[in-house]
């Protein structure tokens, strides 16, 4: 299938922080809109459909760059009403997609969160995060920080078909090791798990062992959701890449967004058992390397 060339559109934003409800974090922050990774299962496609924007193969071929987001964020964090609640970066688009190499907006946002002592949670499939290990270490010494590296599968064929724009899983795991060795609390998120594709216990065990060997402080998993927008796109690709599974997906999901409760419960029980067997335990960060000096960080370290 021919892909359209990538277009980066510089578009200033009016707000940086988005209030979140019903999630384990309070606020979300996304320096970009759209994602070059173009994962077939991306749940953001559902939001794009509701916003009357392309959720099909055109999604991710245009990325909006919020060029002023660092300044806007600093203004919001400096308000007297700011309560220093946790901010999640990457809930709607990967903060370390290739555009970040050029614009460095995620790095600028991390500097702002450091300066205003704001707890931070990051979700990414991008190994570029190791570039910002200096800021993440400094931030970790001031507030709670956690990094989720997304690795749902180690199978190169599965990753190629379902995550066409992402870095190889082993490269992500090397980034995880770099973060952990620097003292940043980081782990693996195996999500989404795809029925019949990446849910075999042997495959889950392989990922969990790789997470352990990379020093993961935690590991979890989540099943695929198929909301309108995501559903149509994913099933189109499933029919092309895994046609033998198409009927089973229609049976499992029917007209639902979520998998049956029995499947989800069984998956979580299997993941918990594997996590215990492999030996990935939830543990805090331990600072193996000394805190870099301000000159190395190029950001203030005022108390």
Instruction: Express each pLDDT in 91-100 by its tens digit.
Output: 999 999 999 9
Task: Please report whether residue 282 resides in a domain.
Answer: no
pLDDT score at 42: 94
Average pLDDT, the chain: 91
Strand ranges across the sheet with 87-89: 17-19, 27-29, 87-89, 120-124, 145-150, 186-193, 219-223
Q: Which domain holds residue 65?
A: 1-143
Quote the pLDDT of residue 262: 96
Q: What is the pLDDT of residue 60?
A: 84
Specify the higher pLDDT residue, 48 or 259: 259
- What pLDDT is stored for residue 2 in this prediction? 43
Q: 23 pLDDT exceeds 90?
A: no
* Domain total in the chain: 1
What does the alpha-carbon distance between residue 20 and residue 87 come to, in Å, rounded to a whole number? 10
Instruction: Name the band, by pLDDT with cuts 50, 70 and 90, for residue 156.
Output: very high
| Structural domain contains residue 205 | no
Whether residue 150 is contained in a domain is answered as no
More confident residue, 281 or 86: 86
Does a structural domain hold residue 8?
A: yes
Spatial CB neighbours of 19, under 8 Å, sequence gap ≥ 6: 26, 27
Helix (H, G, I), strand (E, B) or coil at 16: coil
Give the integer Cα–Cα distance in Å for 295 and 246.
56
Compute CA distances 204 → 63, 282, 285, whole Å: 32, 18, 24
Task: State the Cα–Cα distance between residues 213 and 278, nearest whole angstrom.
Answer: 10
Q: Let me know if residue 270 belongs to a domain.
A: no
Q: Name residues whose C-beta falls within 8 Å of residue 183's C-beta, 6 or more positions apart in sequence.
A: 137, 140, 285, 286, 287, 288, 289
The pLDDT confidence band at residue 291, using thresholds 50, 70 and 90, is very low
pLDDT of residue 285: 53
Whether 122 is in a domain gets the answer yes
**Inter-residue contact 82 to 76 (CB < 8 Å):** yes
């Amino acid at each position: 299938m021919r892909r359209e060339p990538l277009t980066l559109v510089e578009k200033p934003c009016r707000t940086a922080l988005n209030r979140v409800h019903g999630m384990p974090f309070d606020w979300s922050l996304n320096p970009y809109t759209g994602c070059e990774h173009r994962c077939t299962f991306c749940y953001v496609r559902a939001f794009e459909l509701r916003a009357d924007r392309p959720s099909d193969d055109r999604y991710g071929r245009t990325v909006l760059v919020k060029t002023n987001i660092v300044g806007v964020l600093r203004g919001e964090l400096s308000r007297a009403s700011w309560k220093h609640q946790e901010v999640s970066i990457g809930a709607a688009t990967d903060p370390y997609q290739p555009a970040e190499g050029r614009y460095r907006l995620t790095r600028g946002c991390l500097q702002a969160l450091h300066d205003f002592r704001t707890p931070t949670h990051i979700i990414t499939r991008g190994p570029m995060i190791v570039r910002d290990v200096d800021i993440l270490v400094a931030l970790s010494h001031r507030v709670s920080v956690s990094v989720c590296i997304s690795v749902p599968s180690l199978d190169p064929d599965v990753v190629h078909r379902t995550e066409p724009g992402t870095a190889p899983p082993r490269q992500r795991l090397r980034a995880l090791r770099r973060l952990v060795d620097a003292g940043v609390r980081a782990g693996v998120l195996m999500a989404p798990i795809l029925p019949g594709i990446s849910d075999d216990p042997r495959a889950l065990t392989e990922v969990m062992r790789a997470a352990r060997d990379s020093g993961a402080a935690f590991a979890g998993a989540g099943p695929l959701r198929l909301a309108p927008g995501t559903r149509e796109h994913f099933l189109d690709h499933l029919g092309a890449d895994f046609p033998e599974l198409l009927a089973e997906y229609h049976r499992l999901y029917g007209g639902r967004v979520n998998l049956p409760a029995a499947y989800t419960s069984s998956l979580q029980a299997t993941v918990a058992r594997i996590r215990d067997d492999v030996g990935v335990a939830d543990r805090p960060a331990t600072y193996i390397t000394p805190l870099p000096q301000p000159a190395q960080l190029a950001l203030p370290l005022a108390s």
